[in-house]
Amino acid sequence: MTREEVQKRIHEYGIVPFIRVESAGDAMFAAESVLAGGIPIVEIANTIPTADQVIRDLTRNFPTLTVGAEVAGGLEEAHRRLDAGAVFLTGPGLDQGVVGHCIEQDIMVMPGSLTPTEIMTAHRLGADFIKVFPCSGAGGPKYIRALKAPLPHIGLVAAGGVTQSTAPQFIAAGAAAVGVGEDLIPRQAVRFREGAWIRELAMRFLNFVRQARAQMG
């Protein structure tokens, strides 16, 4: 997918499922379940063992899935994730080298930032979205609303502690999308291979986003 296509998909669905699990098999199961629930986007955590191979397997086995990767280890890790097939990169913080490389290669990038200064810096570097992380600990939807007042032109993705109850609030506050982990992909659901549980949650989150956007007009 092109950079523009990835941007459009994230805007369209408004949800970036974050997969941080204990094994490659767990990651494959979680991603397949999320896709079956109607969300064709996943972000693979940097802590997953053999994350590169997981990305390769996902892109090969599920060609309709938009696979992104969290990068916390600098450019070397970024190169590995991209070589494995990731079509967008994210991070828990702002790594200017990774952002710069993505811009040069025309790859969608969504660095993590929390303060207004970090967010403005990331945007000035050319980031497509800014992952506001950890958003819930900084004030939740109220924090997004406060940021959007002076920065309405910056696409913010609320991540870190997003739940079923707060997801629509984040969208209503102005977030372009939400990054959701445990509340969309429960550990117990993965452990016991309860795919129906994850599929139901995926559909529920999609509905939350649709309803919040509809109410915004």
Domain extents in the chain: 3-216
Strand pairing category for 112-113 and 108-110 = unpaired
pLDDT level of residue 168 (50, 70, 90 thresholds): very high
3-state helix, strand, coil in the chain (%, to 5): 50, 15, 35
The predicted-structure confidence for 35-67, as pLDDT tens digits, reads as follows 999 999 999 999 998 999 999 999 999 999 999
pLDDT for the residue 170:
98
Are 94 and 122 in contact, with CB atoms under 8 Å apart?
Answer: yes
CATH for 3-216, options being 3.40.50.620, 1.10.10.350, 3.20.20.70, 3.60.15.10: 3.20.20.70
pLDDT for the residue 105:
97
pLDDT for the residue 60:
97
The predicted-structure confidence for 64-101, as pLDDT tens digits, reads as follows 999 999 999 999 999 999 999 999 999 999 999 999 99
pLDDT for the residue 212:
98
* CB-based contacts of 25, cutoff 8 Å, min separation 6: none
User: Does the pLDDT value for residue 217 go beyond 90?
Assistant: no
